[in-house]
Structure 1
């Protein structure tokens, strides 16, 4: 799947939830798993926060997808 990027005011954790919900064709509130049960959303949001010089990627499994988040803010899903 091509990567999606959060809007400037959107948190990465929200972008992940919305990308997975869109891919599964359900509302974010209907996802079968909470993001909090997989990764700390606050840590994810702060890891690549603007002004943070961090570079790299984070990959984790969420709702059956391999989710990769990059320092650029891109969110990519793979089955």
Structure 2
């Protein structure tokens, strides 16, 4: 009877340890996924900032060209 109880306790302990290990792996996978999403968001934000900067520079250049053309037309 002692052997049976010892065996049941051993199986329960191993089962609990196995569940804990799987939970830790699942949590690590979730955190890795969140880190990847944050990384991709950061890259997208940088790319958007570059695009905005280029658009602003193009608009400023176009405005300067119009001002120069208007000034030349006045002379």
Fold equivalence (TM over 0.5): no
**Greater radius of gyration (CA):** 2
**Is the helix fraction higher in 1 or 2?**
2
- Scaled to the shorter chain, the TM-score interval is under 0.3
Between 1 and 2, higher relative CO (CA 8 Å, sep ≥ 6) is seen in: 1
Q: Using structure 1 for the length normalisation, give the TM-score.
A: 0.19
Structure with a larger share of its residues in strand: 1
Q: TM-score, normalised by structure 2?
A: 0.20
